[in-house]
A and B are shown apart, each in its own frame.
Chain A
Amino acid sequence: MTAADPNGALIVAVILFSLGALGVLVRRNLLFMLMSTEIMLNAACLAFIAAGSRWHMADGQVMFMMVVAFAAAESAVGLAIILRMHAAGRSTLDADTGNRLGG
Chain B
Amino acid sequence: MNIMLELYGLIAIGATALAITRTIPVHGLLYLVVSLLALACMFEQLGAPFAAMLEIIVYAGAIMVLFVFVVMMINLGQPDQLREKGWFAGGAWIGPSVISILLMGLLVYGLNHNTMAVGTVGAVIGPKAVGLTLYGPYILTVELSSFLLLAGLVSAYHIGRRIGGNS
Residues of A within 8 A of B (CB): 1-6, 8-9, 11-12, 15-16, 19-20, 22-23, 26-27, 29, 31-32, 34-36, 38-39, 42, 45-46, 49-50, 52-54, 56-62, 64-66, 68-77, 79-84, 86-88, 91-93
Contacts and interface: CB of A to CB of B under 8 A. Distances in A.
A31 B36 CA distance: 17
Given A6-B122, A75-B66, 8 more contacts: A19-B20, A31-B67, A46-B39, A49-B43, A56-B123, A65-B145, A66-B141, A72-B62
B106 to A, nearest CB: 13
Given A53-B46, A54-B122, A2 B152 contact: no
B117 interface: yes
Contacts of A56: 121-123, 125
Contacts of A80: 155-156, 159-160
Contacts of A66: 141, 145
Contacts of B123: 3, 56
B63 A75 contact: yes
A70 B20 contact: no
A65 B166 CA distance: 37
B2 A5 contact: yes
Given A3-B45, A12-B13, A61 B25 contact: no
B96 to A, nearest CB: 14
Given A58-B132, A61-B51, A65-B134, A1 B149 contact: no
A2 B117 contact: yes
Interface string B34-70: 0110010011011110110011001100110011011
A16 B2 contact: no
Q: What 3 A-B pairs come out closest when comparing CB atoms?
A: A73-B152, A12-B9, A3-B122
A82 to B, nearest CB: 6
B2 A35 contact: no
B67 A77 contact: no
